[in-house]
Amino acid sequence: MCNVGRGAVRWSFLLCSEYSWPHHVSPPLASYIPRMPASNMNQLLLSPRLFVIGILAFSLLSIHSVLHRPQQIPFQGILRHDSNHTVRNSATGFKAISKNLEAVHNSTLGFQKIFVINLPERTDKLDTFSVVSSLTGFAVEVIKGVKGRDVQNKSLPALEGLPTAEAGRNNIVGCWRAHMNFAQTIVTNGLSSALVLEDDADWDVTIKDQLRAFASGSQFVTAVPKGHKPHSPYGDDWDLLWLGHCASTIMPDHDRRWVIENDATVPDPKHRVNFAGIPDMAASGYDNSTRVVYRASDGVCLYAYALSFRGACKVLRGQALRKTFTPIDVGIGQLCKEKEFKCISVFPQLIDSHKAAGRMSRDSDIGRFSPSEVRQKGFTYNIVHSMRLNMDRLLTGENATIVRQWPDDPIIDGPLRQRPMGKRTE
């Protein structure tokens, strides 16, 4: 809903779904992913084997699926972790706190609450969102989207930087206010952390398993002290977790990463789409099925992100002090540059924005498309087993088959591997 892209014009703002997607922009972020030692490069794709995933049964709060291989085996998502739910780090002795990782499977994905931003008149978006979130097994509360025209100039931190055209002003201001309301809800309710999604967000059907790996990464990148049991499965020393972005840079002098390899939910490089360039993972020594969790120093697009209580306070304070008005995602990206605002990000991103089949005018809340433009097939960039594209199958069949968006891509089979990279302490 609220996306501020770096389009052809740098930082030009095209708001609330009013963006265009520059496909495969050549990477200006050459240093995006630092090179890793060549010795770590030997993990390549395993033998391809067809997999099709089926659903054994689902309740409103959980999905239990099986792999349709020659023989069916019980299955809790495409990614599997070892039965003890621990992630070992041979290099540094780092071990994510296994008991805490369990919480990412709960109905708020390990956060205290989850919210979705939805404009009250877009009931259709909320209808679909409620189905996909409950199929996935998480529960949300609604934060009402805000119309920019309802936000007075005097309640803005600055007027400088506002678009002069009224439509532009209203979009940028409406998005800003909705996200501020999210941060404010965290603070006024004393929530330890909360995740927010835009109402057209989409994710992999195995998001809970992905988040489990991400949480290990977040614990490592934020250097949870040895023996310390954090309250949050993601660790307790972060301000923002940027799960759904359309570009996010690695903090240059921060060398801790969590490397997740052999991940069947990583899109093939040719299917990666970012606003601000596609990081060249291969040039950095990562293979095609690797995902990395890292400390971010910038980002764009707020498809989904979490704030800790501390992070929410900093966002509210940081925005109030602004001298120029900035689109909220750009403003949050700028906060991530600060040493004292800890943003943890992941590439490829875990959550993206779905473009539904049907009338394209429905994408937009301010009418960018003509009513006659129709999209034949829905899609979501960067998401392999799109929840939305599998929704009907999951709803209609006890043993539904999960399809991949890009069925011709190489099959990534075998267990997930995870390891830390970089120093144990800051």
Ligand X SMILES: *[C@@H]1O[C@H](CO)[C@@H](O)[C@H](O)[C@H]1NC(C)=O
- Looking at residues 351 to 410 of the shown chain, list those that interact with ligand X (rule: CB under 6 A): 398-399
Stretch that binds ligand X, among 175-183, 268-276, 363-371, 416-424 (CB under 6 A): 268-276
Residue labelled with tokens 């040719």: 270
Nearest to 318 by CA among 330, 301, 306: 330
Residue (103 or 140) nearer to ligand X, CB: 103
Residues that bind ligand X (rule: CB under 6 A) add up to a total of: 24
x-or-dash string of contact with ligand X, 215-244, rule CB under 6 A:
-----------------xx-----------
**Residue 184 neighbours by CB under 8 Å, 6+ apart:** 312, 316
Stretch that binds ligand X, among 3-11, 34-42, 78-86, 352-360 (CB under 6 A): 78-86
**Residue 302 neighbours by CB under 8 Å, 6+ apart:** 2, 3, 179, 196, 198, 244, 245, 328, 329, 332
155 belongs to the binding site for ligand X (CB under 6 A): no
Residue (106 or 284) nearer to ligand X, CB: 106
x-or-dash string of contact with ligand X, 163-192, rule CB under 6 A:
-x----------------------------
Q: Which of 6, 65, 101, 110 binds ligand X (CB under 6 A)?
A: 110
Which of the 8 DSSP states describes residue 386?
A: B
Residue (251 or 379) nearer to ligand X, CB: 379
- Looking at residues 35 to 74 of the shown chain, list those that interact with ligand X (rule: CB under 6 A): 45, 56, 72
Nearest to 398 by CA among 63, 69, 128, 72: 63
End-to-end CA separation in angstroms for the chain? 36
Name the token pair of 286: 């990562």
Number of Cβ within 10 Å of residue 70's Cβ equals 7
CB-count exposure of residue 315 (10 Å: 0-12, 13-18, 19+): buried
Residue (162 or 403) nearer to ligand X, CB: 162
In degrees, rounded to 5, the angle at the alpha carbon of residue 56 between the alpha carbons of residues 53 and 59 is 120
Q: Which of 31, 288, 361, 364 binds ligand X (CB under 6 A)?
A: 288
- Give Dmax over CA atoms of the chain in angstroms: 65
Closest contact distance (angstroms) between CB of 159 and ligand X is 4
Name the token pair of 65: 């699926």
Closest contact distance (angstroms) between CB of 102 and ligand X is 9
Q: Which of 14, 103, 215, 315 binds ligand X (CB under 6 A)?
A: 103
Kindly give the residue spans of alpha helices, DSSP state H, lying in 151-301: 166-188, 207-221
Residue (367 or 415) nearer to ligand X, CB: 415
288 within 8 A of 253, measured Cβ to Cβ: no
Closest contact distance (angstroms) between CB of 350 and ligand X is 18
Q: Which of 31, 40, 76, 107 binds ligand X (CB under 6 A)?
A: 107
Cα 275 off chain centre by: 14
Residue (92 or 106) nearer to ligand X, CB: 106
Q: Which of 43, 268, 334, 366 binds ligand X (CB under 6 A)?
A: 268
Q: Which of 49, 64, 270, 337 binds ligand X (CB under 6 A)?
A: 270
**Strand 193-198 vs strand 113-118: parallel, antiparallel, or unpaired?**
parallel
Name the token pair of 12: 């030009």
In angstroms, the CA 362 to CA 374 distance is 10
Q: Which of 22, 269, 318, 414 binds ligand X (CB under 6 A)?
A: 269
Stretch that binds ligand X, among 16-24, 73-81, 263-271, 349-357 (CB under 6 A): 263-271
Residue (230 or 299) nearer to ligand X, CB: 230
Name the token pair of 303: 């498809």
For binding to ligand X (CB under 6 A), which residues are involved? 45, 56, 72, 82-84, 103, 106-108, 110, 112, 153, 159, 162, 164, 232-233, 268-270, 288, 398-399
